[in-house]
Amino acid sequence: MRTQRQVVDYSLQKRAVLRELLAGRVGTYDVCDASPYLKNAARFHGEPTEERCPICRSENLTHVHYIYGDELKQSAGQARNLAELPVLAMTLREFQVFVVEVCLGCDWNHLVEQFLLGRDGLAEDGPEQGAAGVNAPGAGPAHGRRREAQR
């Protein structure tokens, strides 16, 4: 997404958990603990992936996108469909997205990444601001033409 910024990737932490599991230092019971809320969010708002679950290897993982931020008001902390995020990103200045992977087969779940979205991320794009200036009242070609005609 265009305004995506401050991305934090959690794949190292995920690999560490899987290593602990392989070594027998944690049990599948400890890591396959998706709550009913998370599983519902995965069913209704989840984004299917092609990635196999690292634990049961029988289901594909589902990504759930949670949104947080003051501007969201009562929507903060809700799961949203991936398709809704670009729309929100054009409406709001800034909000945080947390992506969680869930396996609906064995309840494995882990944070994938977090990032910021929102219009504040467009500030670095000069061209759009410039274009708005050209269309300002009184400026631009139309004004010039009118002066030509008066001469």
Residues that bind Zn ion (CB under 5 A): 53, 55-56, 103, 105-106, 108
> What's the closest the beta carbon of residue 98 comes to Zn ion, in angstroms?
20
Tell me the C-alpha to C-alpha distance, in Å, between residue 108 and each of 55, 64, 79, 86, 94.
7, 13, 18, 28, 30
Q: Rounded to a whole number, what is the largest CA-CA distance in the chain?
A: 89
Nearer to Zn ion, 53 or 85 (CB): 53
Nearer to Zn ion, 88 or 106 (CB): 106
Distance CA 109, CA 63 (A): 10
> What's the closest the beta carbon of residue 97 comes to Zn ion, in angstroms?
23
Q: Estimate the share of the chain in helix, then strand, then coil, as percent rounded to the nearest 5.
A: 45, 25, 30
Nearer to Zn ion, 10 or 95 (CB): 10
> What's the closest the beta carbon of residue 102 comes to Zn ion, in angstroms?
9
Cα pseudo-dihedral 121, 116, 80, 32, rounded to 10: 160
Measuring CA to CA, which residue among 58, 64, 55 is closest to residue 20? 55
> What's the closest the beta carbon of residue 106 comes to Zn ion, in angstroms?
3
Nearer to Zn ion, 72 or 104 (CB): 104
